[in-house]
Amino acid sequence: MNEFVPNNEQELKKDVLEKIRSLINQSPEKMAQELIRSPETTWLSCFNTRLFIISLTLDSDKELGINEKNQIEKKLNELSKKVRMVDKKYFDNKITELPDEIKNELLNDLINLLD
């Protein structure tokens, strides 16, 4: 049996959660890389990209229980709504650089997505 192939439902569920956790943990680094590659990109758009990737990963999963999946989706939707409010508040007022405290708050919300 291949040691890299999960052999039961619990391991598959763990793999999905670990993949999402890894995506979350990689977010600051991946966002920094994107900002270097594309200086015209905003921090918030990079953050939205990370939310989108996490959402796609969650949507493609077939192993998580419906309650657990719904709970994560609910938190992800709440975070997306918060991002839209931040976007409206700052960018509608022509403020292109978010304060560090807002960035940290959003990153903390992302880190706590699976809690």
Domain ranges of the chain: 9-114
pLDDT at 3 over 90: no
Name the CA radius of gyration of the chain, rounded: 16
For the segment 29-48, the average pLDDT, to the nearest whole number, is: 93
Mean pLDDT value across residues 56-79: 91
Q: Rounded to the nearest 5°, which phi and psi values hold at 82?
A: -60, -40
User: What is the b/e burial string over 64-73, where b = at least 16 CB atoms within 10 angstroms of the residue's CB?
Assistant: beeeebeebe
Burial of 49 (0-12, 13-18, 19+ CB in 10 A): middle
Which of 1-10, 60-69, 85-94, 104-113 is least confident?
A: 1-10
pTM as predicted: 0.83
- Looking at residue 8, its pLDDT comes to 54
